[in-house]
Each structure stands twice: as C-alpha cells, then as structure tokens.
Amino acid sequence: MVRHREAGRLRKSADYTRLLPPTFVGTPPFRWTRYSNVLKATLLLLAAGISDQPPRELGQARDRATWKGLPGRNDRPIIPSPAFRPDLMAFSIFSKPAPKPKGSAPRDAGPPKDADIPADNHTREGKSTIWKPLAEDIEVTESQPGLCPALENAALLFANNQADAARKLLAESVQREAETKRSSLAWAALFDLLHRAGERQAYEDFSLKYVVVFERSAPVWDERREAKTAKPQRPTGKGFVAFTGRLTLDEPNQLPALKKVTDNQPQAQLDVTGMLAADDDACRAFADLLRQLRRRPYPLQWATLEHLHRLISEATAVGEQQNEGHWLLLLEIWQWLNDPSAFDECAINYAVTFEVSPPSWEPLTKAQIKAVEETQPAPPAAAAEDQYVCLGNMLGPADSQVSGLFDYIERHPALNIDMSGVDRMDFVCAGALFNALTHKHAQGKPLRIVGVSPIIQALLMLIGINTACFQSPKR
C-alpha cells in the first residue's frame, strides 16, 4: 500500500505523468525499476516537444522533477535536451537539397540553346545520352557487296522451296527499292529465277530495265540451259540411284537404295559421279551386291564407271594386306568393264597380296554388256580430278555431298568446288557446307566455287562465304 501511495504522489507532482500509457498508471514499482532509464529519456523528449516554455524555463521544470521516491533512481544530473523539431529529423526522405553556390550550373542542365550540337546517332532534340562517339570515329564498310535485304529474303525463300515468292519479291524490289536496284547480284538472281520458271517474256522485259539502270547489256536467255540438268537424266521406266560423297554402310541412299531399286525395277542406272571415298566394309558389301546382280543376270547401267575404278584403285597396293574390300570391289569393276586381261592381272595381284587362290573370270551376258555400253557420259566438270562436283538438291545437315567434302578437303591443297549442277540448297545444308569449309583441315587453303547460280550464291554469301570465292564458269 505504501508503494502505491508513493506512485500516486509522483503522478500528482509531475505533470508529464499524464503522458504515460494507462497500463503504466498504478502498476507495481518493480515495473518502474525495470523501465526507469528508458522512461526517463522518452518522457523528457516528449515533454520538451509539447512544451511551450523556452528552453531555459523548461530545464528548470525538469530539475524540479527529480523522480523522488522511486526505487533505483539515478542521482546523476539530467542533461537538458533541445526542443523537439520534426522538421530537423535526420531522415533522407525529409532532407532538403543542399544549397549550391551561386553561379554553378545545374547538374542535369543541357547545353545552351544557341550552342551547336553535333549531329550523330546518339543525340536527339538537344538531349544527349551518356555515350556519344563522334560520327567521324565510326567507319561503316560493306562486308558482302551486292547483298541487300530483299535479296537476302529472296535467297531464304528459295532455299525453303518457295521459288515463286522469291521471284515476285525480287521483281518488285528491283523497281521500287533503290538499294536493290543498284545490286547487280539481285538482278542476276532475278534472271536466274525467271529462267528456272521459263518466263521468257518477263525475262526480256526486265532486260530492258537492266540496260537503263546499268547502261550495259543484260544477260541473254540461254537456250542451252533448258537442256541442262543438275544430274544425269533418269532413264524412262528405269530405276535410278546416285552415290555421292563417301560410301558407307550407314547411308540409306546408297547400298540399301540400290538393292531396293534392283529388286523392284527390271533395269536401273547407277551414277557414281559424286562418289569421293569409301569405307572398306562398304566396298566389300558393294562388291557382294554387284556379284549378285551380275549372276542374276541383271542389266545394270553405269554412269562414270571409270571414275569409280580410279577411286578404288588408289586404295590398293600390291604386297600390303589391307583394304581387302577395295580389292574385291576392284575385281568386280573389271568384270563390269568387260576386260578379261585386266581382270586376270588384278586377280593375280590380289592372290599374291593376301596369299589366296585367284578368282576366276565370269563373262557378262549380252544384255549386261549392252547396258554398260549405253552408259551416259559424265558431266564435263567431273573429268577434272582436282574438283569436287556437287549435283542436284542439297538438303539437310547430313547431306552425303557435304559429308564427302571433308575427305576431299584433307586430300587436296586447294579447294575447287563445282556447283554448276546444283538445283537448290536449303539453309541447313548451307550451314553444314560452311562448317566444312571452315574446318581446321581447310584453313589456309584457297577456295574457289565455280558455276554456282546467283540465287544460291546469295545464300552462301549470307551465311558468311566471301564474294571473292565465287567464279563464273568458263564458256
């Protein structure tokens, strides 16, 4: 009871006790002891903030309130604090910008209105960005002369087998867009597409416009081009199979295709013009298949069988017991060439090398001999052994002609690629071709691409092949 009365006297003597929360009024003294120091500081700050007295009188009032009768009181003098000013709180959200010296320019001030602002790509309406290089420090060069947006789009459309859309796009662009009109490659691609579509009248009309733009004669319509094909003509009523690149057992368009055609067609033609190399296991399987066809007898017609003979004979050497599959295929080639004396010589060399009895000669039938004699001649470009000939449509990342290019690159110091027989190449195959031409074995070797059509040349230039690598075919 005594302690409760002391608390009541304190409440009556000190005016600032009215600021206490109701829960602290009349509470036991041990709570006052626990929070004495905190309450002293808090109540004094609050009292100083709401008082209308000057600081001196406020300090005397605080001195009169000495907290007498409270247990655990602190007899040290209370340091008076200045009056509470909310506008002087040291929080950044209430802080005002520091005064700036007179004559200083604002931080974000732009250039004077009458100042000359350099005209560059990084200044707009007098407001400059952080990075402002001078216009004369930037030099723009044309990496692939002749390419323009319309030609690039047309090349992609043609690669996607949309020749009509590509032709219409170029026909409109060479008349409306100045950049396309100045590109001779775009005009050549347009003439190429018109020739493919057989639109001779449109070809003649654009030839007159070409003369006006470039002040020289336009390419003439090639009558012989209509008779040209990307690969040997498929015989009517016969099966047709073409081996290109490297002969392997995993390629479904090679040995499996030949077996399927010969099983379903009474006569077939095999074109080995684009064949560049062969695995030994594939040669053995090829020789077994040819032996079966010869013994049926099946009238197989060949294209460039001499090319296959040269390719296989390079991998055989007398006295070296390796590449037996190549030896067996070479013996079968002599059988189909119908040359008994050359076969006997090869058979003896084979027997000496592998220490076996020589195989015997098996003559062809008259129908087989006639089929071999009717072999179509190879394209002129294929006669050059240092050239890599590409034919037909080159599609997909695993095109056999692109795969065979790696073997050609390893064996030749200079890369001469004849693409005069290529009808179309899609974008994925073009990327695979670029990877082959930039392979480590191709680095440092001169590259020459002959006979590529303008629309395919635009695609190859688009993926990164330099325009200096393309050459027109000799006429």
Question: For the ranges 117-131, 230-244, 458-472, which has the lowest average pLDDT?
Answer: 117-131
| Residue 353 near residue 320 (C-beta atoms within 8 A) | yes
Residues 107-135 have a mean pLDDT of 45
pLDDT tens, 370-404? 888 776 444 433 334 578 888 888 888 767 788 77
Mean pLDDT computed over every residue of the chain: 74
Name the residue type at position 183.
S
Other CB atoms within 10 A of residue 32 CB: 19
Report d(CA 462, CA 465) in Å as an integer: 7
Sorting pLDDT into bands at 50, 70 and 90, what band is 148? very high
Which pair of tokens denotes residue 381? 């470009």
pLDDT tens, 315-367? 899 999 999 999 999 999 999 989 999 999 999 999 999 999 999 999 998 88
- Is 80 exceeded by the pLDDT of residue 428? yes
Residue with tokens 């493919």: 196
The yes/no answer on whether domain 239-373 falls in CATH 3.30.750 is: yes
Architecture in CATH of 149-226: Alpha Horseshoe (1.25)
pTM: predicted TM-score of the whole model, two decimal places: 0.45
Query: Among candidates 314, 474, 279, which has minimal Cα distance to 385?
Result: 314
- pLDDT for the residue 324: 94
Residue spans per domain, the chain: 2-87, 149-226, 239-373, 382-471
Share of the chain above pLDDT 70, in %: 63
- pLDDT for the residue 466: 87
Residue with tokens 């590259």: 447
Give backbone dihedrals phi and psi of 248, rounded to 5 degrees, phi first.
Answer: -135, 165
Report d(CA 420, CA 126) in Å as an integer: 56
At 474, is the secondary structure helix, strand, or coil?
coil
pLDDT tens, 224-255? 665 443 344 444 446 788 888 889 998 888 89
Q: Do domains 239-373 and 382-471 have the same CATH topology?
A: yes
The listed CATH number (3.40.50.300, 3.40.120.10, 3.40.50.11310, 3.30.750.24) that belongs to domain 382-471: 3.30.750.24
Give every CB contact of residue 268 below 8 A, 6+ residues apart in sequence.
238, 239, 240, 241, 258, 261, 262, 298, 300, 301
3 versus 152: the higher-pLDDT residue is 152
